[in-house]
Amino acid sequence: MPTIFTRIIAGEIPGTFVHRDDRCVAFLSINPLAYGHTLVVPIEEVDHWVDLSPDLAAHLFAVAHRVGKAQLQAFGCERVGLIIAGYEVPHTHLHLIPTQHMGHLDFANAAASADRDALASAADAIRNALAAIG
C-alpha cells in the first residue's frame, strides 16, 4: 500500500510543492512546527533513511541544503533545523524547519493542521528565494 507521501507525490492528495525533480520532492508540512516547515521526500519509498542508497541520500541532502538556504532568505530566521525522525510516516523525509529558537524543533508543538493560504504564502516565498538563488 502506498504511503501518504507517495499519494501526495502522485497528486492523489493535495500538496504544496516547492521543488520536484526525478528523484525527490519538497513540499510544505500540513503539521508545521514553524511557518515554512518543509519536507524533502524521495520519490522512491524507502522507510528508514539509513537504507537510502548513498547517491539518493546525497541528492536529498543537496536539495535540503538549497531549500534551507531559500528558507533563510525567505523568512529571515536564525537557523533552519533539519530533523530526520521517521516515525510519523514509513517513508524517509527530511524536516526543514525555519527557527528562531530550539522550541521550534519540538514535535509536541506541531500544529494540528495548517491554513491553506499560509501554506501557499510560505511556498511562494520559498520558490521566489529558490529562483533568486538560481
Res. 47: pLDDT tops 90: yes
Residue 51, domain member (yes or no): no
Q: Environment class of residue 15 by beta-carbon count within 10 Å: exposed (0-12), middle (13-18) or buried (19+)?
A: buried
Average pLDDT over residues 54-66: 98
Residue 88, domain member (yes or no): yes
Residue 52, domain member (yes or no): no
Beta carbons of 77 and 19 less than 8 angstroms apart: no
**pLDDT in the model for residue 134:** 87
CATH code at position 35: 3.30.428.10
Question: What are the angstrom distances between the C-alpha of 7 and each of 41, 43, 48, 98?
Answer: 12, 10, 18, 26
**pLDDT in the model for residue 71:** 98
pLDDT band at 113 (very low <50, low <70, confident <90, very high): very high
Domain, as residue range, for 9: 4-46+60-129
Q: Is the Cα dihedral 37, 90, 19, 50 positive or negative?
A: positive
Please give the model's pTM, rounded to 2 decimal places: 0.96
Question: What are the angstrom distances between the C-alpha of 125 and each of 28, 35, 46?
Answer: 12, 11, 29
Residue 53, domain member (yes or no): no
Q: Can you tell me the distance from the alpha carbon of 50 to that of 18, in angstroms, rounded to the nearest whole number?
A: 25
Residue 113, domain member (yes or no): yes
Count how many domains the chain has: 1
**pLDDT in the model for residue 1:** 84
Q: Can you tell me the distance from the alpha carbon of 114 to that of 117, in angstroms, rounded to the nearest whole number?
A: 9
Q: Can you tell me the distance from the alpha carbon of 122 to that of 106, in angstroms, rounded to the nearest whole number?
A: 20
